[in-house]
Structure formats: structure tokens, C-alpha cells
């Protein structure tokens, strides 16, 4: 597993389902470079249990991300047809009907591998037969990407552990505060709080006040 923070987000082109039901063949995050921040997150599998709770949680906060100019994009190793089918199932029946942000189909698993969130790897047994050492699906990876295409924040949870969408919003606010003000964000910073200058005097002044 790799750390992508400070590096360019891996580029890709793949099929995706957008607007809750339209399949497009050549979806890429490159379309947002120079225009939007991107919150790109992976989830393990369609038609499961923790995953719909996360996808609906991001949808419930989608307007808040959009107010900040942030594009939310999801991805798993399922096919675009599987994504489409899950999107037709009502929430009360375990589906994700109503989710509008793009869901990428990483059927080749190359995107998951490039972002370093593959649960398992391919290997060979003593007889030279290829084998998988895990389920070969995505961990719950999350990447905050700035307008230049650089990864500024990443979080990776194991399969049983759902993420906190409010924390993802907090990290967006922190990044945009830094970009707009040039001040860094201390521990437990929230939108509306003071930042600090990245100097000994700035830290001392902040700690004195708090």
C-alpha cells in the first residue's frame, strides 16, 4: 500500500454510472483539473451492508460538498452494470437509489491498484499457479485531491469500518482555508476557527490563546 499524499493522483479512464443511471464509457478525474477539488473514495462491493450506508451518507452531504466546489466520485471493482442495477434498488431494500454522484467501475482493478487500496495481491504457489492472497476488492480508501490534481489527504479503512463524512467535509474546509489564507490548521480545527502561521512565533501565539 502506498502513500499518495503530495503526489499527483493516478490518472485513469474507465466506465462509470453518472446521475443515478447513465453509463458513460470514458470517465476520468482529469476533467476536474484546474476547476474543482475532488473527493474520490473507494468502497469494497455493490449489494453489501456497510457500503450503502456510506454511499447514502455522501449523497446526504453532496450539496455541502458542491457548495465548496468539490466533486464527489466513488469507485469499486464491480462492473458498471452492477452499479446501475444497485442504483435501481430503493434504499429501504438495501439499494442506493437516489445517489447522483459518479460511480466508477474498476473492472480491471487497475485503478484500485494504482491508488494502493487493493485488499490482497496476486502471487504464485509452489507449482507456479497464480493465486490471490485476499479478496481482491478495494479497502475503504478516500482521497482529497486539489485543483492541480495533487493528493492532499488520504484515509484508508479496513473493510468493516465505515467512514465519517463530516470528517471528510472538515478536511475539505481545512484545505480550502489553507489555500485561501496561507495559514495552517491545528488539531481539531473546524471551519470558523482561527488558523496559525507556520512559524515558532505563530505556534506560540496560537497556543497562548488556546
Whether 51 is catalytic: yes
pLDDT for the residue 125: 86
- In tens, the pLDDT along 136-153 reads 999 999 999 999 999 999
109 with 189, same domain: the answer is: no
Per annotation, catalytic residue among 14, 51, 74, 103:
51
- In tens, the pLDDT along 48-93 reads 999 999 999 999 999 999 999 999 999 999 999 999 999 999 999 9
pLDDT for the residue 210: 54
pLDDT for the residue 122: 85
Name residue, grid cell 453509463. Answer: 23
98 with 41, same domain: the answer is: yes
81 with 175, same domain: the answer is: no
Structural domain span for residue 81? 14-161
Mean pLDDT, the chain, rounded, equals 93
Q: How many domains does the chain have?
A: 2
Amino acid at each position: 500500500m502506498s502513500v499518495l499524499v503530495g503526489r499527483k493522483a493516478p490518472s485513469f479512464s474507465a466506465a462509470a454510472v453518472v446521475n443515478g443511471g447513465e453509463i458513460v464509457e470514458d470517465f476520468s478525474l482529469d476533467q476536474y483539473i484546474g476547476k474543482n477539488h475532488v473527493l474520490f473514495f473507494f468502497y469494497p462491493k455493490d449489494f453489501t451492508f456497510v457500503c450503502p450506508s456510506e454511499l447514502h451518507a455522501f449523497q446526504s452531504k453532496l450539496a455541502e460538498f458542491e457548495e465548496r466546489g468539490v466533486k464527489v466520485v466513488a469507485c469499486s471493482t464491480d462492473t458498471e452494470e452492477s452499479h446501475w442495477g444497485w442504483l435501481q434498488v430503493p434504499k429501504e431494500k438495501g439499494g442506493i437509489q437516489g445517489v447522483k454522484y459518479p460511480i466508477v467501475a474498476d473492472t480491471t482493478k487497475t485503478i484500485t491498484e494504482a491508488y494502493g487500496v487493493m485488499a490482497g495481491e496476486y502471487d504464485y504457489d509452489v507449482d507456479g499457479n497464480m493465486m490471490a492472497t485476499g479478496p481482491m476488492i478495494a479497502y475503504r480508501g478516500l482521497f482529497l485531491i486539489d485543483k492541480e490534481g495533487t493528493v492532499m489527504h488520504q484515509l484508508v479503512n479496513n473493510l468493516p469500518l465505515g467512514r465519517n463524512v463530516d470528517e471528510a467535509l472538515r478536511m475539505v474546509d481545512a484545505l480550502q482555508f489553507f489555500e485561501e489564507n496561507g495559514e495552517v490548521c491545528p488539531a481539531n480545527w473546524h471551519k470558523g476557527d482561527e488558523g496559525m502561521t507556520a512559524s515558532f512565533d505563530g505556534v506560540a501565539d496560537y497556543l497562548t490563546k488556546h
